[in-house]
Amino acid sequence: MGEVETIGLEQVESLAITTLVDNLTDILLLDEGPATRPPVDARAPRVTAPMLEGGMTIDALRAEHGFAALVEVARGGRRHRILFDTGISPDGLVENMRRLELSPHDIEVIVLSHGHFDHTTGMDGLTRALGRPNLPVLIHPEFWSRRRLALPGREPIVLPSTSRSALEGAGFEIVERAQPSFLLDGSLLVTGEVDRTSEFERGFAVHQAHGDGGWHPDPLILDDQALVAHVAGKGLVVLTACGHAGVVNTVRYARRLTGERRVHAIVGGFHLNGPLFEPIIGPTCDALAELDPDYLVPTHCTGWRAIHALAARFPDAYLQASVGTRFEFRGS
């Protein structure tokens, strides 16, 4: 991408991110700073359990490999809700929303971070929950690519991709855009295609896309996009989903686009798992130290080793993720 003009992102009074689908769950975590954990006491939803004394237990949230978050933006006394991704199972998202007493009918806009099925499959359950939804769905044009993972010594694994006709047929209004977009009168920025500037975030080496009659390398996954808000007096909050663009690239791009230097929080999947990505955990930590976020919430595909490295390197900023946690970042 060429020159990037600075664009005016309005400051918001608060931004709350509730993870609706995530790889992790831990019902013993306590509230901590901006993190409020889902209730496991008398306020929690109940489900029948005939093998237990009393015949009931809490209807606990389910974790799955995937990501979805409800984003609530407060500005000018009004609150708006955006859904960012939908998880890997057809019903995991809506089932966790039911357990959290969050209504799918309150969602005003859907942003899908990229085309991978661990972020999109919950559109199915959402469609059934909403009836005929009349909601905009923001995606990058390469969202529709057919993809596979070609691991050395193994048969390639084809990744399910979203059916355009099914999504359109369900009633969603699809908005394709590679450039940055604003939502809610300039309160929220969808990055579109992220400028790749770091020297170590080189993408997913074994990832391929189908086109021109065959499979070809597609390490960059250009459809990967993030959400950005500017919390008044605090700085940027950047929400990544799978972080295929690179978390450092994404945060640097958010700073370039908005002209705001302060980074208040980075939340989401940083994609640093496994032998292909673990070598860049160190450089990523070094670059994040320069960005100096107040809060760091690595989740979903970040990977066990990277999460531990980040927790050790940023003990004051690190917050543990767990599905159903609400992270509320308030302005000053």
> Residues interacting with Fe ion, by CB under 5 A?
118, 242, 301
Beta-bridge mates of residue 138: 111, 175
Which two structure tokens, joined as six digits, stand for 212? 């021109």
Which two structure tokens, joined as six digits, stand for 165? 């006709």
CB of 86 to Fe ion, least distance (A): 11
Give the β-pairing of 136-139 and 109-111: parallel
CB of 249 to Fe ion, least distance (A): 16
Return the residue matching tokens 């080496």: 205
Judge contact between 103 and 83, C-beta under 8 A. no
Which two structure tokens, joined as six digits, stand for 53? 């004394």
Q: Where are the alpha helices (DSSP H) in 131-260?
A: 164-169, 247-258
Cα atoms in the 13 Å half-sphere on the side-chain side of 63: 13
CB of 147 to Fe ion, least distance (A): 12
CB of 74 to Fe ion, least distance (A): 28
Judge contact between 309 and 318, C-beta under 8 A. no
Nearer to Fe ion, 231 or 310 (CB): 310
- In degrees, to the nearest 5, what angle opens at C-alpha 299 toward C-alphas 293 and 304? 105
Nearer to Fe ion, 114 or 252 (CB): 114
Nearest residue to Fe ion on Cβ basis: 242
Nearer to Fe ion, 118 or 124 (CB): 118
Nearer to Fe ion, 255 or 300 (CB): 300
The DSSP H or E segment spanning 42 is: none
Which two structure tokens, joined as six digits, stand for 11? 């400051």
CB of 289 to Fe ion, least distance (A): 25
CB of 67 to Fe ion, least distance (A): 6
Whole-angstrom Cα distance, residue 22 to residue 107? 19
Nearer to Fe ion, 19 or 258 (CB): 19
Nearer to Fe ion, 270 or 327 (CB): 270
